[in-house]
Amino acid sequence: MKRSDTLLLAHGSGGRLTHELVRQVFLPAFDNPYLRTLSDSAVLSELPQGRPALTTDAFVVDPPIFPGGDLGYLSVCGTVNDLAVAGARPLWLTWALVLEEGLDGDLLHTVVEGAARACREAGVTLVAGDTKVVPRGKGDRAFAITSGLGVVPVGRDLGDHRVQTGDDIVVSGPFGDHGATIMACRHGLSGSFLVSDCAPLNDLVETVMTCGAEIHAMHDPTRGGVATTCHEVAARAGVRCVLEEVSLPVRSETLTTCELLGLDPLYLACEGRVLMWVAPDDTERLLKTLHSHPLGRDAARIGRTEPPKGGQASVLLRTAIGGERPVDLLSGSELPRIC
């Protein structure tokens, strides 16, 4: 299938056009010994020593191409990041596409090339895949489903069960860029000034895991952003997350977009940022390590955990003028199809 072609229902029928689609588009992009067999399953090598970690995610981002990424790139980065923040080293992925009849061949090639680029950047191998084509009007161009398998090395333990009162909260860079970029695209406000933060985080995570800092938990703040992630950690760890407004890193371009569209950057999705809960004595060491990595050079401490207080919000913002305001969970779907 060429970039100038249009996707037909027959491309998903399993017949001649399906075989051409696989051999002309997917195999060249993801070529590896597991895929070359074109068998029903990928029979993998033995896992390295450690605990297996498995995750899956669906991606329905609208628009499917945006500054800084596309559906394919996002779908690989998102799954790699889910494994990385659990402490796992991502190894293998599966990838399925649900495509709408009439899809522009150029868009399909862009999505496939984006996924392949993300695999190379993350050092992971796509070992199995599937494609389904639905009739015109029964889908919206393209959706992706990605699953990932990795291994948590022996002796590594990350999780909210380790978060303690007094932990510092660190973010690896300015947040909200991905969500602001997608919303700007939808409202005709996009431009070179605003780019998604979408990126694979596994190399950054491996770097900080070897710096000696006592990191208790990590999360990538995707849907619902920093605010939602802090709520989830507070509930699971039995603490209160207190954020400091003066320390929150938000790019001026993202802030301007939020002001125009009535959004709060605390709730905007990130696809290339990680939140970390770290022992306070090790915060400076962690920040120094983050600043040495291209994806962490603007990292900042943004708050800390405190004991819960009955009747008060589990996530609190200490404002620049010394006040406090609760940061609630979203009550509706403010940003649908953001990832």
pLDDT tens by residue, 96-134: 999 999 999 999 999 999 999 999 999 999 999 999 999
As a whole number of angstroms, the distance between CA 237 and CA 130 comes to 38
State pLDDT tens for residues 292-329.
999 999 999 999 999 998 888 999 999 999 899 999 98
Q: Does residue 240 carry a pLDDT above 80?
A: yes
Q: Does residue 2 carry a pLDDT above 70?
A: yes
Average pLDDT over residues 197-225: 97
Q: Per-residue confidence at 266, pLDDT binned at 50, 70, 90?
A: very high
Tokens at residue 94, please?
Answer: 């599966």
Identify which of 141, 198, 178, 192 has the alpha carbon closest to the alpha carbon of residue 263. 178
Q: Per-residue confidence at 187, pLDDT binned at 50, 70, 90?
A: very high
Exposed / middle / buried, residue 213 (Cβ in 10 Å: 0-12, 13-18, 19+) = buried
Could you tell me whether strands 125-134 and 89-100 are parallel, antiparallel, or unpaired per DSSP bridges? parallel
Tokens at residue 258, please?
Answer: 């939020």
Strand order in the sheet with 51-59: 51-59, 142-152, 89-100, 125-134
Q: What percent of the chain has pLDDT over 90?
A: 93
Dihedral sign, Cα of residue 167, residue 168, residue 173, residue 174: positive
Identify which of 38, 41, 7 has the alpha carbon closest to the alpha carbon of residue 21. 7
What are the C-alpha distances in Å from 81 to residues 86, 118, 200, 206, 219? Answer: 9, 11, 6, 12, 9
Contact at 8 Å (CB) between 11 and 131? yes
Which residue in the block uniquely carries the two structure tokens 């920093």?
Answer: 226
Average pLDDT over residues 87-92: 98
According to the model, what pLDDT value does residue 337 have?
Answer: 82
| Strands annotated E in 69-141 | 69-70, 89-100, 125-134
H or E stretch covering 74? helix 71-84
According to the model, what pLDDT value does residue 86 have?
Answer: 98
Q: What percent of the chain has pLDDT over 70?
A: 99
H or E stretch covering 33? helix 33-36
State pLDDT tens for residues 35-63.
999 999 999 999 999 999 999 999 999 99
